[in-house]
Structure 1
């Protein structure tokens, strides 16, 4: 049996040290596993090797990489060639451990198995290997099978090498005890690296699950916000990729790694996480008078009271007229006019309650005149038709929120930043709070909550602002507005690029790369997608 000289031992130690460095820096599982198998083969001068991974249900060993130099086989791993061989069962039909297969035996007992000649061994069932040899005119002789286990003694994989070759003549030889010790050392390092990767993957999975959990909570609280939390990160990444691919202009140097993409994606998912603290009656306020219910019904009731009182008063006057037909007709005509006026005012208030892009000053004044009417409530106390809060809400100029309610809504971004900055983000995700917290800032410093200017913001935060606004403009599921047509949304966004609201360079890429159109066809109602003449979009030069 060939033993190693000092030079060969030193070379193998160098290989182990080099592999240790690579295992610590390699984050691609397939290339990592292939490197492990390649080093193991080279270290023992083996003709072939296989790396098995346990199946998800832990009942099979599945081929992950299969290499044989003589047969020119390289399947699985980073090769891109699928492995067609079936896995090795770890248990039989009765649920007992499978101890016939050498790889399964090593997996169950955590022991290395070193066989000099499989055709002379009578401990394991090598019928599958013999069949493999017959089909390919090959001769498997020596085998070294080593389990990979983590710090909790959990099976991570099984490494199997076949046909160690003599360094001088190339004759097939047995794997020496020294070979076995080196491969066991390598397997221990590999198990640590794989466990490290698995733990990182599990932590990232847990983080994404927690992010989704927050969004589920927001979605359950307000289905309108849930859609927004889904589409903003999607649109953010679409625009980010377009900027990444830009080769000219002020943003030509912007590039993202896969890690940068993951960081931005998480920021997009979390950009409105603070809304979990916003009261539902404010988030979902569909009309001006809505609180936990729409108070327009109370206003309607008051109008019915005025209509009833007017009719009662007219009937009393007609009775007092003592059958004077002319007087009775005049009273009836006056009643009809009064009731028509009341019904017109009721319809106007119903319309005013809906909210919109802007309420005219004369309409606000009309609301105040109607509110000054007097009526007698159930408590027989005479009062103004609208109380102060109703009058305040019904005269809201834009949308359905009062200034106080808008501050509550706007506070969600401060809460988002506070929540995100409280988390111990790892180095590769440290920018999530800044990216997520900047989507309501403006390029001219008039945004909130920090009043940042363009130079104080990252590209990622600036492009998320565009995604946030465009999604909000086009969304048709908001309780307080209809989704705008695509052309109108682009016109508004274009004006925003001119008045210092959004980044004009990013807006240029948004239009030039047709991101708006791709998103529209994927997520907007087709009825909202009208013809677009890009030459007429404000702030954009084709």
Structure 2
């Protein structure tokens, strides 16, 4: 009866151990599937495998991307108190193990780890010093130098769902309850192999997710660089805005007091900001280059100031011909020449005014607009048919208001029916009378609409829940704190910190850019001064502007990305109010 009871007890005990191991294996599997950090994942795999087998040490290798070697990923040894790789921050100094002979190309079966990687079968060695078929000279040399005794080895392949070996798990020196080194038992090996199988799937899934992320990153950067490449004047904008945005976001996360004391970004939040910053101008892919790059008022695909100058040339020549005809008719030569000189001086002055106004650098006062209209009334004679040599599309536009046959007297600057092209008004006088900058209202709307297109394009992408705000963050960088921005007229209360960060990053990059045709490169101090005006007008967030300066983001960016002649000193105290000092405790 006693014998039966003891036997039954042993069976129940063994069953209990097996159940506990199974439960632990399930728990480890759940933990592995939940871990998103690669270093923590690989470290967890090795530590759990060591615990299952009660091993003194272990190494986790991963197959290199080219499939030619096994790289050390994690190394642990309790007796030697060695911890390398993973989250330790300590690099593993050992070179990768070649899977193939570099000279002959033959598979490397001499090393047990490489053999397992090539063969895909587990190897359980009771004592490395007496084992046959594998070269343990390196192990023995290591032992001689450290006084350690490497004995039992359990080497297991990590196979993904396609039955491909992606790594190798090697455990060293199994121990019994007394701490004595023993062989890895036949009951432990299946558990470690099951763990290795789960680990391989977890690593492979993580690699697949990272590969998808890398692909998405690459695609987004290709798109952003293509947009920059469309215009030599905004090249690099899509690349530099993310730099400023992430610098400012990092500064906000580092705050322990003030308005950003509770501001933190998770890993997903950082990635969301990263993608949104790179995609913030993706709608510009639809914006015509000649609108984005419009450097003068008369510029379309080319600068039409050349046409206007030619008309002045014709008028001067006509004046000279008229003078000569008067002289031939017997009029006083000196009087004719004086009249001609006065006409030439007037033409030169008028053209100089038109040419200067075409640049559009400053506000055009009403009196200058009026003078432009007066100059436009000057006439010249056209002797050639201007309906010849045109595209089919332009010919169709001319049918609405056919030009008079040559010779025809025409105004120096005109707004013709054929100047209306789609949403654009290319009228010469209309464009010359732009009061600020070089863009008409229609062109400015087209450029502003790139934000709407950005959000519409991004909303069509199936972003996961953790990245759902990318369309908003990318498309809200032209919103203003006072609600006068676009496209939605959001107020500061309706904008997130990330939205406000993007607004400052976009403006500062544009102000500091040295590749714009319509302005000279500004010094950092000038750009900060403009940002300060925008803060006072409640166009950008005041707290973020202050952080932008006090954290030194403006200077950090300037030193890395701006020309040396732009990097002057900014008096931060001029823009940041001193914080009140707390009274001393009594």
Q: Sort the Cα spacing of 1:82 and 1:469 in 2 relative to 1 into closer, same or farther, 3 A.
A: closer
Shift of 1:534: 4.2
Q: Are the counterparts in 2 of residues 215 and 226 from structure 1 also a CA contact under 8 Å?
A: no
Q: Are the counterparts in 2 of residues 420 and 433 from structure 1 also a CA contact under 8 Å?
A: yes
Shift of 1:282: 0.5
Q: How does 1:21-60 map to 2 (within 5 A)?
A: 21-60=30-69
Q: Give the distance between the partners of 2:410 and 2:220, measured in 1 at CA.
A: 51
Q: How does 1:367-406 map to 2 (within 5 A)?
A: 367-379=372-384, 380-388=407-415, 389-406=427-444
Partner of 1:122: 132
Q: How does 1:38-187 map to 2 (within 5 A)?
A: 38-92=47-101, 93-167=103-177, 169-187=178-196
**Range that drifts further, 178-187 or 444-453:** 444-453
**Range that drifts further, 259-268 or 274-283:** 259-268
Partner of 2:388: none
- CA offset digits 1:417-469 (Å, max 9, x no partner): 01111111112211111111111111222211111111111111012111212
Q: Sort the Cα spacing of 1:328 and 1:233 in 2 relative to 1 into closer, same or farther, 3 A.
A: same
Q: Sort the Cα spacing of 1:136 and 1:495 in 2 relative to 1 into closer, same or farther, 3 A.
A: closer
Q: Are the counterparts in 2 of residues 102 and 124 from structure 1 also a CA contact under 8 Å?
A: yes
Which SS does the other structure have where 2:18 is aligned?
helix
Q: Give the distance between the partners of 1:374 and 1:271, measured in 2 at CA.
A: 47
Q: Give the distance between the partners of 1:309 and 1:297, measured in 2 at CA.
A: 18
Q: Give the distance between the partners of 1:410 and 1:97, measured in 2 at CA.
A: 61
Q: Give the distance between the partners of 2:574 and 2:138, measured in 1 at CA.
A: 71
Q: Give the distance between the partners of 1:226 and 1:12, measured in 2 at CA.
A: 59
Partner of 1:541: 577
Which SS does the other structure have where 2:236 is aligned?
helix
Partner of 1:350: 355
Partner of 1:444: 482
Q: Are the counterparts in 2 of residues 15 and 39 from structure 1 also a CA contact under 8 Å?
A: no
**Range that drifts further, 507-516 or 523-532:** 523-532
- CA offset digits 1:8-47 (Å, max 9, x no partner): 3333223312211221222221221121111111111112
Which SS does the other structure have where 1:406 is aligned?
helix
Q: How does 1:314-463 map to 2 (within 5 A)?
A: 314-321=323-330, 327-379=332-384, 380-388=407-415, 389-463=427-501
Q: Are the counterparts in 1 of residues 225 and 238 from structure 2 also a CA contact under 8 Å?
A: no
Q: Give the distance between the partners of 1:70 and 1:528, measured in 2 at CA.
A: 58
Which SS does the other structure have where 1:48 is aligned?
strand
Aligned residues: 534
Unaligned residue ranges in structure 2 (runs of 5+): 1-10, 385-406, 416-426, 579-586
Q: Give the distance between the partners of 2:63 and 2:152, measured in 1 at CA.
A: 24
TM-score normalised to the size of structure 2? 0.87
Shift of 1:528: 3.4
Q: Give the distance between the partners of 1:5 and 1:206, measured in 2 at CA.
A: 49
Shift of 1:273: 0.7
Which SS does the other structure have where 1:64 is aligned?
strand
**Range that drifts further, 88-97 or 187-196:** 88-97
Q: Are the counterparts in 1 of residues 225 and 236 from structure 2 also a CA contact under 8 Å?
A: no
Partner of 2:241: 232
Shift of 1:396: 0.9
Q: Give the distance between the partners of 2:322 and 2:287, measured in 1 at CA.
A: 48
Q: Give the distance between the partners of 1:129 and 1:533, measured in 2 at CA.
A: 62
Which SS does the other structure have where 1:517 is aligned?
helix
Unaligned residue ranges in structure 1 (runs of 5+): none
The CA RMSD over aligned residues, in Å, is 2.0
Q: Are the counterparts in 2 of residues 55 and 62 from structure 1 also a CA contact under 8 Å?
A: yes
Q: How does 1:200-279 map to 2 (within 5 A)?
A: 200-279=209-288
Shift of 1:5: 2.9
Q: Give the distance between the partners of 1:499 and 1:419, measured in 2 at CA.
A: 31
Q: Give the distance between the partners of 2:61 and 2:350, measured in 1 at CA.
A: 79
